[in-house]
Amino acid sequence: MSEHVSAIERGTRGAAQVFNSLRDDIIALRLEPGLVLSRAELQARFGLSSTPVRDALIRLQNEGLVEIYPQHATKVAPIDLALAREAQFLRRSVELELVRSLALKQDMALNSQLKRLIQQQVAFADLNEFEAFAAADQAFHRTMYEALGIGALWHLVRQRGGHIDRLRRLHLPVDGKMHEIIAAHNRIADAIVAGNADSAQSAMREHLSHSLDFVDTLRVCYPQYFR
């Protein structure tokens, strides 16, 4: 019995490992839209049996990040603009209330955390470290959820955000984009520190309202990436 339970636990951990690794690669566009994913190659890469690999791919399918064609192929899904718009609306709606609550709460520890994360973003931007910058960007937002005691909600928002996150990643190397994000984060953090809920909401609305403004240009540059 213990060996059976252990095997199940290993399979569960293995599926989570495959899911997290592939999701990160898809969001970062290291696995490009349309790419065929070989289950045999994934099993070899992760040293796992077919079951955890299958379970991870089903989770990715549920997030709309892969498309599974039974008995045929599994492919990285193209960017779906309808799903990107839904994710933008969801995140903006949640985070407008989030920053308002944080401004009224006045958490000094949070203020220090946000400023430290912004300093990291500045360093990564200066080095053109896009992956590290994107991780620090995500950490900036996640930290606010955790400070309000709703960290689980961040995971829900993130789960719905795969398509718009890929759009943001495509746009990140554009000249000046990272410093634009840093300026927005500074405005948000400063408003929270000042206890100005209205300014915090205004800064967040501005920050999260333009992710789809550059879609037409990206579709010209990367037509194969879009549905």
Rounded Cα gap, residues 82 and 85, in angstroms: 5
Domain that holds residue 124: 81-225
Q: Is residue 7 over pLDDT 90? A: no
Q: Do residue 92 and residue 142 come from a single domain?
A: yes
Q: Do residue 90 and residue 193 come from a single domain?
A: yes
Mean pLDDT of the residues in the chain: 93
Q: Do residue 86 and residue 146 come from a single domain?
A: yes
For residue 208, what are the contacts with CB-CB under 8 A and spacing of at least 6?
A: 88, 91, 92, 95
Identify the pLDDT of residue 18.
Answer: 96
pLDDT tens track for 95-136: 999 999 999 998 889 999 999 999 999 999 999 999 999 999
pTM for the structure as a whole? 0.89
Q: Do residue 102 and residue 193 come from a single domain?
A: yes
Q: Do residue 69 and residue 177 come from a single domain?
A: no
Identify the pLDDT of residue 131.
Answer: 94
CATH of the domain at 41: 1.10.10.10
Q: Do residue 174 and residue 62 come from a single domain?
A: no
Q: Do residue 45 and residue 150 come from a single domain?
A: no
pLDDT tens track for 42-66: 999 999 999 999 999 999 999 999 9
Q: Which of 207, 210, 200 is nearest to 97 (CA)?
A: 200
Q: Do residue 30 and residue 120 come from a single domain?
A: no
Identify the pLDDT of residue 185.
Answer: 98
Counting the structural domains of the chain, the total is 2
10 pLDDT tier (thresholds 50, 70, 90)? low
Q: Are 143 and 135 in contact (CB under 8 A)?
A: no
